[in-house]
Structure 1
Amino acid sequence: MTFEPEELRQSRTDLADTLKTLRKRAGITQTRLAQRCNMSQTKISNIEGAKLTPSLVDVELILRALEAPSNLVSQVAALARTANTEWQDVWSQRRTGLEKKQNELAGFERSSTEFRYFLLSMVTGLLATPEYVRASLAHIPGDHSRAIARKLERQSALYDTSKRFTFILTEQAVRWPFLPAPAMAMQIDRLASISLLPNVRLGIIPFDTHVPVGPLNTFTIYDTRIATVETQTGAMIFRDHRDVSAYLDEFTAYEGFALFGEKCRERLSEWANQLRS
């Protein structure tokens, strides 16, 4: 499904207006609807006021309580799916400050306990050395010292044993020459070191592995609630359970092709030593 940024913003308002109109047509008060859906009246009010974006489950409960016809249910469900998708373009992120994006990611990390990262072409900030982090922002004009510091601060989440991380990196993500050879060797050493943490599973998919599926994007899954998908010009944030489930299935497939544990560390050591020689 393709989403235009304006469509995503408008869909939230359209969904709120649609649900409010359906309730009024049914002649039901917010309080009565809340009782039927086992929600608070405040939640219904916030949904109808576009202050809160309802999940698909919330929408299904409301439509069932309003006895909406089946053809209308499918239309509103599609609208709800779009409303539960967010587009963040890189230019807006730069205007508002890269530190704000780091704070948002830190919020995802605080509120989640299980993380899955599929890294197609680069190392993510949680796994990066300071040199790699600085290089990842060097092409963007301006002073990014605060964003860099925040990125490095976020790495403390890896040492919170109440959280579980699974990272899958392609060989390209590990070996792309983003830094001079000695610094890249140190970056690969860091990956091997992090793989030893008790709450971290780090796997790699080497080029000599037969993988009969082709990944298109880097993506991250937070618990089973949110999936973020990165593109060249921004990121999509999915909250619809069907979208999140699709990325969970894709991640599970890649896990089956990845090397973990000692096999992973042996290959990482081989690549780091090649860079040093």
Structure 2
Amino acid sequence: MILGQVVDFLGVPDDVPGGIARRMQRQRVLYDGEHHYDVALGEQALCTNIGGPEVMRQRIERLLRDLGPASLTLGILPSTARVDLFPVHGFNIYGDGDRAHVELVSSAVDVGERSELALYDTAFAAPSSAASYGDAAEALLGKARSFPVDAPLGE
């Protein structure tokens, strides 16, 4: 559903099944024992209704399942947490910090300059240090799971 929205928005050829297959293949690295991922996710992302109630429920259930593997450290940044950095776009830092990847609306940027990579390290440290982990992250996911995503505004 969400990939279909991206296809419609960008006006690109519809290869949603291929995109899903590639994403599922990339997710296998979570369980291969060779990689480790540190993720900081804003609580607001858990409550932003993209895709409808069923997609939202599946997203939360998947995150709850992914709290288990040793290859993933998932932090949920509570909406009320103080963060000493203005919000920035999403990004990934790869390898031993030798590359950052930023996906934009119409393109992607790979950053490899040492001084710029240090900024990405700092930009990740701010929200991740204010995030909740373990049982506290699970509680925030449970709170989001009970949020009525199909309720009219104001209820």
Task: Flag the 1:137–1:174 CA change in 2: closer, same or farther, 3 A.
Answer: farther
* Structure number with larger C-alpha Rg: 1
Task: Flag the 1:138–1:206 CA change in 2: closer, same or farther, 3 A.
Answer: farther
Q: Residues 1-277 of structure 1 correspond to what in structure 2 (within 5 A)?
A: 131-139=1-9, 140-144=11-15, 145-223=17-95, 224-275=97-148
Q: State the superposition RMSD in angstroms.
A: 2.0
- Measure the CA separation in 2 of the matches of 1:233 and 1:135: 14
Task: Flag the 1:132–1:263 CA change in 2: closer, same or farther, 3 A.
Answer: farther
Spell out, residue by residue over 1:198-234, the C-alpha distance to the aligned partner (whole angstroms, 9 max, x if none).
1100111121112232122111100211011233332
Q: CA deviation at 1:173?
A: 2.3
User: In 2, are the aligned partners of 1:178 and 1:184 still within 8 Å (CA)?
Assistant: yes
- Measure the CA separation in 1 of the matches of 2:55 and 2:22: 21
The alignment partner of 2:23 has SS state of helix
- Measure the CA separation in 1 of the matches of 2:6 and 2:57: 16
Q: CA deviation at 1:172?
A: 2.6
Task: Flag the 1:266–1:135 CA change in 2: closer, same or farther, 3 A.
Answer: farther
Aligned length: 147
Which consecutive residues of structure 2, in runs of 5 or more, have no partner in the other structure?
none
Q: CA deviation at 1:160?
A: 1.3
- Measure the CA separation in 2 of the matches of 1:158 and 1:192: 14
- Measure the CA separation in 1 of the matches of 2:34 and 2:128: 22
Normalized against structure 1, the TM-score is what? 0.49
- Measure the CA separation in 2 of the matches of 1:199 and 1:246: 24
Q: Which structure has the higher relative contact order (CA within 8 Å, separation 6+)?
A: 2
User: In 2, are the aligned partners of 1:228 and 1:236 still within 8 Å (CA)?
Assistant: yes
Amino acid at match of 2:129: G
Which consecutive residues of structure 1, in runs of 5 or more, have no partner in the other structure?
1-130
- Corresponding residue for residue 22 of structure 1: none
Amino acid at match of 2:143: E
Amino acid at match of 1:219: F
- Measure the CA separation in 2 of the matches of 1:196 and 1:135: 30
Q: Identity of paired residues, percent?
A: 24
- Measure the CA separation in 2 of the matches of 1:162 and 1:133: 28
